[in-house]
Chains A and B, each alone.
Chain A
Amino acid sequence: MMQSRARWMLLFASLGAVALSALGICVGSVGFENLLQPLLNPALDPERTAMAQQIVWEIRLPRTLGAWAAGALLGLAGAVAQGLFRNPLADPYLLGSASGAALGVALALAAMGGLAGMLGGSGGVGNMMNSGLLASVFSSNLWVRLGLTGAAFAGAVLGVLLTLALSSGVGHTLRLLLAGVVVGMVLGAMTQLVLLLSPDSLQAMQAFMLGSTAFAGWVSVGLMALVWSVCMAGAWLLARVLDGLSLGDATAQSLGLAVAPMRLALVAVLALATGTAVAQTGLIAFVGLAAPHLVRSVVKTRHGQLILLSSLVGGVLLMAADTLARWLIAPQELPVGVLTAVLGGGYLLWLMRRGPVKVGSAQ
């Protein structure tokens, strides 16, 4: 019974992703338009087909898939965090990893901006164009993307470790959450400080802090897909530990699991997934928190499946939010992070009113 429910959910999440991709291809700066038709029948109107190909292939498809990948990474990170800390409120944002990642990105930008400034950021209007050294938070350059991802990863690890150190372990739920909130606030404040001190990166970071998939290109998509495969494989292999941990540390140890190193490995997976998503699309709240809850409200399953399903659901959620974000007031755009916060917050409130939030999962 459980297994079949899980299978249905897997099917729904995959079908949902495909359907939303098709919809995402058709929603853009003019609202809804059927671009599939000119794509599939090139003979009908070659000029329109050429336009459709360019728009879809270079802009809408990478952006739609980018939204999926970022959502999948956040969903995965959320499920891992909730299992790892045996806490249904654990989420990349509550553990300080997202604020750490944002700080990493801000520092990297400030450092690169400063470097570019020293290398001759002044001159006439004419020679402003060869500014290859300047880095943009939304740049599509592979090295810039890798650099920002690395910085975000380091920041995310720092954030989680700080939270863990402050709460002296994961045993005490309240302490853990308090520590997460404190670390999130302090790192957020430090990000603001960095931005205040390097106003050149302020404008770009503003868009980044609200979350945006607007400039996601194939490089970002590839990077996120790669990291997603690595994280998914890692989480799948370590899911056994999470199942054991849900019975308590002592039981997990008595099952012969090397709890300490595996926990560290899980923290690494969590930080890598969060850092990569944040580095490409900025701060997008609530996806990581809502996806595992949504899965758990439908099926009770072991951590391996929970993580996979949460990841798929997270992808679908963000894809849907992103499609809405560019549809509602086209050709203008809502910041997708604002939309996920409103929708995700509403969903969680509804979940809370419906009954006590279910803790744990694998019993």
Chain B
Amino acid sequence: MVTLLFAAVLCSTAAQAVQVTDDRGVTVTLAAAPQRIVSILPSLTETVCELGHCARLVGVDRYSNYPASVLKLPQVGGGLDPNVESIVALRPDVVLMAKSARVGERLEALGIKVVALEPKTHADVQRVMLKIGELLEVTDAQRIWRAIDAGVSAAAQSIPANVRGTKVYFEVNQGPYAAGESSFIGETLTRLGAKNIVPAKLGPFPKLNPEYIVRANPDLIMIGQRSADGLQQRPGWQSIRALREQRLCVFPSEDANVLVRPGPRMAEGARLMAQCLVSKAPTLAASRAALPAPKP
């Protein structure tokens, strides 16, 4: 009798309606936790998998490439140019997407539930993770988040005191567009104790005058492999300390994905940047020896 009652309770919780308010402020109600999920944002794909429900994904966008198992799933276009037909054909219980994706209204008109989330900062990663945890009825989302956060802190701890305050320039694109202090990458750098040469007031990804970087004279440059070619030959850049002393970390595109995606792999991203700082940053002693900077 007790077992029966217990089973009945279990059944009723399993079938209970799930309700979340997404980043558009829209409250989405699902009859039950979604079993068929389409994600059209790589960081959301990674979050679903991190929460242990990779198997519920039935479709992803073309940029979702982690974990490897999602590569086998049907692709439904990109986040900005998704293929509505192929999404509908997958009969998803819910579609996870960025707030900026315009396809939301179209999908909702077709009767598909949409949850729009916009992870941009460290705090967003936590919020999004808890939100998706709620949606998927994952009870230990908070614990998973804490583990990630602890990973970032551990990366920060691994950095010796004499490397802290290293002046870093992180280039995201040859524009040159930089990752500023207020960007996701910038937040990680700040937690690692590095000094970003691009202050928060310039916005997350400003297009800079290259001269600004020459004058800021960073000790270390972090850059994706795609943008790294010709760095040494840019006019005037030979005098930058980071280039003069070969203090350059070029991240292959797989690592660059980890660094730029505000998702559950942020601890791994912090570790990559910490490794770079530990192996390439000048120590305080070296900095003192290098003063005054030799003329080019």
Contact = CB atoms under 8 A, between A and B. Distances in A.
A151 B296 CA distance: 34
Interface string A316-354: 000000000010001111010000000000000000000
Given A60-B211, A131-B228, A204-B227, A218 B250 contact: no
Contacts of B230: 134-136, 138-141, 144
B252 interface: yes
A125 B239 contact: no
A332 B234 contact: no
Interface in A152-201: 200
Interface in A348-363: none
B246 A54 contact: no
B47 to A, nearest CB: 24
A253 B174 CA distance: 51
Interface string A204-246: 1011000010111110000000000000000000000000000
Nearest to B238: A58
Given A54-B239, A128-B228, A129-B248, A138 B212 contact: no
A203 interface: yes
A258 interface: no
Most A CB contacts (10 A, CB to CB) among B208, B210, B255 go to B210
B120 to A, nearest CB: 19
A137 interface: yes
Contact of A331 (B174, B212, B248, B250): B212
A136 B226 CA distance: 9
B146 to A, nearest CB: 29
B19 interface: no
A139 B233 contact: yes
A110 B230 CA distance: 16
Contacts of B251: 125
Interface residues of A, number: 47
A135 B231 CA distance: 11
Contacts of A333: 207-209
Contact of B236 (A55, A123, A125, A144): A55
Contacts of A137: 174
Given A125-B252, A128-B252, A214-B176, A58 B208 contact: no
Most B CB contacts (10 A, CB to CB) among A60, A131, A206, A214 go to A214
B229 A332 contact: no
B246 A129 contact: yes
B274 to A, nearest CB: 13
Interface of B: 173-176, 202-203, 206-212, 214-215, 225-230, 233-236, 239, 246, 248-252, 255, 276, 295-296
Interface of A: 28-30, 50-51, 54-55, 58-60, 62-63, 116, 121-125, 128-129, 131, 134-141, 144, 200, 203-204, 206-207, 212, 214-218, 326, 330-333, 335
15 contacts: A29-B211, A30-B215, A50-B295, A59-B211, A121-B225, A122-B252, A131-B250, A136-B174, A140-B234, A141-B230, A203-B175, A204-B173, A207-B175, A212-B175, A214-B209
